[in-house]
A = this chain, B = another copy of it.
Amino acid sequence: MARRHDPERRERIIEAAIRVVGAQGIAGLSHRSVAAEADVPLGSTTYHFASLDELLVAALRRCNENFARMVREGGGLADPAVPLADALTRLLGEWFSGGRGPMELEYELYLAALRRPVLRPVAGEWADALVEPIAHRTDPATARALTALLDGICLQVLLTGGEFDPVYTREMLARLAEGGADRSARGPARGNASSGRRRRDPRATADPAGDGRTRSGT
């Protein structure tokens, strides 16, 4: 029996919840299943998290942290020398190299926001975790579009059971990125074909709401 004062119990429950979702999906998440996984009594989970949604929010938020760290540390996103598209492709490659499991987990939590309004703000944070570093390299609208394309590509792979194609991914990301403001990464190392471009309507049309939309907030 035992641990009367266990300040890390809450954390352990969250991690257990993540493992459960990873193994059985959100459908398999129940107070009982996380209690069993975390090796705590059933009442303990209901005590720390009044509802499953609350637990889900905590789990998604925890995933956000891991994801944000991966984005920050993993790819050379901050390095102005490597083209944005390359950095993002590399980042995605790292992500995929971990296998379907972790990606399924993170996407399932992320996509759960579709039906659970309480998760939407957290989902927004998730998107921001990706958009924000990218926005340091280009304009906000382009950053958001790059994120959208990244999501779309990942989902196509995950949903249809295909494989990740770095070459295709980089090409498409580059098309998006080179149309946007090209801060910091000046010399496009790959032919200056894009030099004179992006004249079209670089910022005016893009994201009239400032960086708005992305963080919906409450």
Interface residues, chain A, with chain B CB atoms under 8 Å away = 25, 27, 104, 107-108, 110-111, 113-115, 117, 120, 123-124, 127, 141-142, 144-145, 147-153, 155-163, 165, 167-168, 170-172, 174-176, 178-179, 190-191, 193-194, 196-197, 199-201, 205-209, 213-216
Copies in the complex: 2
CA A163 to CA B212, docked complex, whole Å: 10
Nearest chain B CB to A142 CB, angstrom units: 8
Report whether A156 and B165 are in contact in the complex, using a CB–CB cutoff of 8 Å. Answer: no
Nearest chain B CB to A195 CB, angstrom units: 10
Determine the chain B residues whose CB is within 8 A of the CB of A176 once the complex forms.
Answer: 149, 172, 175-176
Nearest chain B CB to A117 CB, angstrom units: 7
CA A184 to CA B120, docked complex, whole Å: 41
Majority secondary structure of chain A interface residues (helix, strand, loop or mixed)? helix
CA A197 to CA B161, docked complex, whole Å: 33
Given that A149-B149, A168-B205, A205-B171 are contacting pairs, would A216 and B114 also be in contact in the complex, using a CB cutoff of 8 Å? no
Given that A111-B111, A114-B108, A207-B168 are contacting pairs, would A159 and B123 also be in contact in the complex, using a CB cutoff of 8 Å? yes
| Cross-chain pairs A/B with CB under 8 angstroms, 24 sampled | A25-B115, A104-B115, A110-B159, A111-B159, A113-B160, A117-B161, A123-B159, A124-B159, A141-B168, A144-B168, A148-B153, A148-B172, A149-B152, A152-B155, A155-B155, A156-B213, A160-B215, A161-B216, A162-B213, A167-B208, A171-B206, A175-B175, A176-B176, A191-B199
In the complex formed, the residue of B with least CB distance to A191 is B200
Nearest chain B CB to A20 CB, angstrom units: 13
Determine the chain B residues whose CB is within 8 A of the CB of A158 once the complex forms.
Answer: 114
Report whether A160 and B114 are in contact in the complex, using a CB–CB cutoff of 8 Å. Answer: no
Determine the chain B residues whose CB is within 8 A of the CB of A108 once the complex forms.
Answer: 114-115
Nearest chain B CB to A33 CB, angstrom units: 15
CA A11 to CA B88, docked complex, whole Å: 45
Report whether B160 and A127 are in contact in the complex, using a CB–CB cutoff of 8 Å. Answer: yes
Most chain B beta-carbon neighbours within 10 Å: one of A117, A127, A175: A175
CA A162 to CA B113, docked complex, whole Å: 13
